[in-house]
């Protein structure tokens, strides 16, 4: 699938996610006078999302010649946010996925990806029921359970990488402690591959991650 097609799909998913969160805002407003709005310093936010991981692949060396690609994946994701100020939080994102790698020669097998990500977030309208936020930080990606091979020979890859991450999203409060969430992230990650001791090039996965979920405030 060409990048332009993926971009149209991605835009539709993002728009649908944010519309979904916005549609729930009237319900949050109608929750009653006993609903305490907002978040404050010292609060802990725990979110559970279903996320769609959409790789934006680029390659170097022989991997480009082989037209190597990486499939999408839908998995759960858990994140924890600690509010160090009313408007400023630190978030740790946890999740893992398995991706199949394709090429012009056929399927190359699968590999697991674990990219714990730490983000510094700014929360707008922190005292309200509808709270957009943006974040930026760093991810460490671990590649494990490598099952990649070509022609019966195993493909070796570097096991980890470091890269930046960006984030935007919105929380919509439903009750005193429960809220719904829509979120989008861009994460940069890569691995170098070799076959029989010969370098094949670098595979940059760099996914866009779109998520919908629920959260609790403690």
Q: What is the distance between the alpha carbons of residues 186 and 22, in angstroms, rounded to a whole number?
A: 22
Cα 68 → chain centroid: 22
**What average pLDDT does the segment 143-164 reach?**
94
pLDDT band at 178 (very low <50, low <70, confident <90, very high): very high
Structure tokens at 171: 């929380």
Of 11 and 127, which is predicted with more confidence?
127
Model pTM score: 0.80
- CA distances to 9, 56, 74, 94, 156 from 4, rounded to whole Å, are 9, 11, 21, 29, 31
**What average pLDDT does the segment 139-165 reach?**
94
> 3-state DSSP helix/strand/coil percent for the chain, to nearest 5?
15, 55, 30
**What average pLDDT does the segment 137-149 reach?**
96
Does the pLDDT value for residue 105 go beyond 90?
Answer: no
Of 104 and 19, which is predicted with more confidence?
104
Structure tokens at 166: 């960006």
3-state secondary structure at position 34: coil
Q: Average per-residue pLDDT in the chain?
A: 88
pLDDT digits 0-9 by tens, 56-96: 999 999 999 999 999 999 999 999 999 999 999 999 999 99
pLDDT digits 0-9 by tens, 13-28: 454 554 444 444 444 4
Rg (CA), the chain: 20
Nearest C-alpha neighbor of 33 from the set 204, 176, 153:
176
pLDDT digits 0-9 by tens, 113-132: 999 999 999 999 999 999 99
Of 190 and 32, which is predicted with more confidence?
190
**What average pLDDT does the segment 49-53 reach?**
97
pLDDT of residue 29: 45
**What average pLDDT does the segment 165-189 reach?**
97
pLDDT of residue 151: 84
Domains of the chain: 3-217 (2.40.160.20)
pLDDT of residue 14: 52
């Amino acid at each position: 699938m060409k990048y332009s097609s993926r971009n149209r799909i991605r835009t539709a998913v993002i728009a649908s996610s944010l519309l979904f969160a916005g549609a729930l805002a009237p319900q949050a407003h109608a929750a009653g006078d006993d609903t305490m709005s907002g978040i404050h310093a010292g609060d802990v936010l725990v979110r559970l999302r279903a996320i769609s991981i959409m790789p934006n692949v680029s390659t170097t060396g022989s991997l480009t010649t082989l037209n190597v690609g990486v499939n999408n994946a839908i998995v759960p994701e858990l994140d924890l946010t600690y509010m160090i100020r009313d408007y400023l939080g630190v978030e740790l994102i946890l999740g893992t996925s398995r991706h199949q790698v394709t090429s012009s020669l056929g399927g190359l097998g699968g590999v697991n990806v674990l990219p714990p990500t730490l983000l510094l977030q700014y929360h707008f309208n922190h005292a309200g029921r509808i709270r957009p936020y943006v974040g930026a930080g760093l991810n460490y990606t671990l590649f494990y359970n490598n099952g990649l091979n070509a022609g019966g020979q195993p493909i070796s890859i570097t096991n980890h990488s470091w890269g930046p991450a960006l984030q935007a999203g919105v929380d919509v409060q439903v009750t005193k402690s429960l809220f719904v969430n829509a979120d989008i992230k861009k994460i940069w990650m890569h691995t170098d591959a070799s076959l029989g001791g010969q370098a094949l090039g670098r595979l940059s996965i760099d996914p866009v991650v779109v998520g919908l979920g629920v959260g609790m405030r403690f």
